[in-house]
Structure 1
Amino acid sequence: MSWIKTIGYEEATGALKRMYDRVKGPNNNVDNVLSIHSLRPHTLKGHMTLYKSVLHNTNNTLPKWYLEAIGVYVSYLNKCDYCVQHHMGGFVRLLDNETRSTAFYESVQNDTVHTFFDNHYKDGIVHAQKLTQAHHTITKEDIEHLKNVGFSEGEILEINQVTSYFNYVNRMVVGLGVNTDGDIIGLSPGNSDEPDNWSHA
């Protein structure tokens, strides 16, 4: 499951058990990306607060499938197969178009993801790539370009936050050897209107 000890749902007590009860999925399943926090439950709280805020919040205005697409692409760039699998599952469910989903994943693998989009979304995903692989080269002009092609400043913030979140979680997962053994691929937190609803379904 990982290269460090984790505490499973059945063994958890106290604050960790309370956190697990908030994030668990069917049959008390807790994704490995979450149980990796079990030796420091307070970091699980921080992780879930950030995750739900940047990816699953009704105040975001970019489509959730697009935010998932950014997550899949950033994870692929970071060679984080765990997050690619999980968030590709989410992307497929949200887009609800098997042909387009397959085409998207092929474009990710072929490094032609910018050609998948036929509007300003391609500029957003190119920006996510730059923020992931060459963040130190980003300038004010990059942000002005995103505004010029049609993103609001709030949406630019969403792209930045989702990209930054995945860069964080990719490094956590890869750096601790987390794999998908025992996970239910593609689950995500509940109602976006409820920030405190962290249950996975």
Structure 2
Amino acid sequence: MAFIKQVSDDEATGVLQRVYEAARGRSGGVANIIRVMSRDGRSVQGSMQFYTSLMKTDNALSASRREMLAAVVSNINECYY
């Protein structure tokens, strides 16, 4: 498995620090999927904004259907994270 250097909580500054703080506010910690993108704070921020707009805002699909669709796609892609 490849190793990707991650930015620790203590090293995070600026945009990345705000992303980490928001993650801790939502779930009590920073998920590994966020940490693996931590080398570029703007990229992780954009990714989180994209995820939020798809999964956490009202749209044509109910929240349960969005989660089900995400699970199906993850299974097809053999991504069990």
Normalized against structure 2, the TM-score is what?
0.84
2:44 partner amino acid: L
1:23 partner amino acid: A
Matched-pair contact (CA < 8 Å) for 2:9–2:17: yes
| RMSD, matched Cα | 1.5
Aligned with 1:81: secondary structure? coil
Between Structure 1 and Structure 2, the one with more helix by share is: 1
Q: Does 1:63 align with 2:51?
A: no
Distance 1:49 1:15 in 2: 13
Which residue matches 2:39? 39
Distance 1:40 1:80 in 2: 23
Normalized against structure 1, the TM-score is what?
0.37
Q: Equivalences for 1:1-16 in 2 at 5 Å?
A: 3-16=3-16
Task: State the Cα deviation string for residues 135-154 of structure 1 (Å, max 9, x = none).
Answer: xxxxxxxxxxxxxxxxxxxx
1:70 partner amino acid: L
Distance 1:32 1:6 in 2: 9
Which residue matches 1:80? 79
Task: State the Cα deviation string for residues 91-148 of structure 1 (Å, max 9, x = none).
Answer: xxxxxxxxxxxxxxxxxxxxxxxxxxxxxxxxxxxxxxxxxxxxxxxxxxxxxxxxxx
Give ranges in structure 2 of 5+ residues lacking alignment.
none
Aligned with 1:22: secondary structure? helix
Using the TM superposition, give the Cα deviation of residue 67 of structure 1 relative to its aligned residue in structure 2, in angstroms. Answer: 0.8
Which residue matches 1:50? 50
Using the TM superposition, give the Cα deviation of residue 8 of structure 1 relative to its aligned residue in structure 2, in angstroms. Answer: 2.2
1:81 partner amino acid: Y
Distance 2:54 2:15 in 1: 24
Structure 1 stretches of 4+ moved >3 Å = none
**Sequence identity percentage:** 31
Equivalenced residues, count: 78
Aligned with 1:5: secondary structure? coil
